Amino acid sequence: MTNCIEIKGLCKSYQDFSLKNVDLTLPSGSILGLIGENGAGKTTTIKCILNLVRRDAGEITLLGHDNVREEQAAKEDVGVVLDECFFHDSLRPRDVSRVLAPVFPAWDEKLFRAYLEKFDLPEQKRIKEFSRGMKMKLSLSAALAHHPRLLILDEATAGLDPVVRDEILNEFLGFIQDEDHAILMSSHITSDLEKVADYIAYIHQGQVVLCDSKDNILEQYGRVGCTAAQLQGIAPDDLLRVRKGAFGCEALVSDRTAFRRKYPGLLAERTSLEDIMLFLGKGEET
């Protein structure tokens, strides 16, 4: 299995924010979900990958090519969908094809039309008349029509209704059926990532604080609900984060099976990505 994206020691500093030593790997045949709060560094990471901003340090390889020194080769087999539709309102979907066909040597006009048909997008209608969902579907059609091996998506499903989101997620699952393909997607909608992602990377304040396979995370991590007195009886090393409320305490553990064995009187239940994100982002360290 080869890696479609390799990021090593990525650093990027702004006045009020820094991305610190980000390491990420996206193996082919898989989907990596990037989660994190607003301003955590997800979009900056994607912008560094696409060379939209200059990195201060580190290395980024896309499909085996350095993303700066071999930018053109690196991006040739990459499809990009960002959080907005960048096509001018006055254009029509058929115009998008005219614009992008000379850009991508592998542009497939038939495939683009097939996607338009699949997503019920009228070729003759101007983009300004499209809904947000239609615009995102158009962006996705444009990103897929040159047979990319790698899709990079930044909040591509944000603001879409569940039906459109489901349709787009199914398309991602279809895309990933080819073992050479891979998807990097950032999203706030952790339930979407629970559906489709193989790996999860959680970026918090510019650092990757959690990166593992989704199954490992959901199988191993656990949420413990207990009283303040029970919390006192747990060794701090056995807890990752704690949240204390008026009616009780909650804690995040990294291995709920081991926790259950050690503390048979306490219940460590399966948790969600959203809960893990909340614990790691807002919980107290033990």
Partner 1 sequence: MTGLVWKDMLVSAKTAKSYGLIILFYFVLGFLGTFEVTFITAFVSVLLIMLPLSAFSYDEAAKWDGYAVSLPLGRRRVVAARYLFTLLIVLVSLAVATLFSAFIALQGQSFLEPLSSALGTLGFGLFVLDVLLPLCYKLGPERARPYLYAVIFVPIIALFVAFRMGLHLDLSWLDALAARSELLVFALLALLPLSGAVLMLPSYLLSCRILDGKEF
By CB under 8 A, name the binding residues for partner 1.
47, 50-54, 71-76, 78, 80, 82, 84, 86-91, 95, 98-104
Q: Among residues 138 and 234, whose Cβ is nearest to partner 1?
A: 138
**Type of residue found at 142:** A
Q: In angstroms, what is the minimal distance from the CB of 56 to partner 1?
A: 12
159: left (phi over 0), alpha (psi -120 to 50) or beta: left
- Residue 237: which residues within 8 A CB-CB, separation 6 or more? 286
Q: In angstroms, what is the minimal distance from the CB of 71 to partner 1?
A: 6
Q: In angstroms, what is the minimal distance from the CB of 191 to partner 1?
A: 27
Q: Among residues 91 and 267, whose Cβ is nearest to partner 1?
A: 91
Q: In angstroms, what is the minimal distance from the CB of 7 to partner 1?
A: 17
Q: Among residues 12 and 256, whose Cβ is nearest to partner 1?
A: 12
**What b/e string do you get for 50-77 counting C-beta neighbours within 10 Å, with b at 16 or more?**
bbebebeebebbbbebebeeeeeebbbb
Q: Among residues 71 and 274, whose Cβ is nearest to partner 1?
A: 71
Q: In angstroms, what is the minimal distance from the CB of 76 to partner 1?
A: 5
C-alpha closest to that of 59 among 49, 73, 71: 49
Cβ(284)–Cβ(241) under 8 Å? yes
Cβ(22)–Cβ(39) under 8 Å? no
Distances (CA, A) of 90 to 101, 133, 158, 167, 202: 19, 18, 24, 26, 38
Q: Among residues 92 and 214, whose Cβ is nearest to partner 1?
A: 92
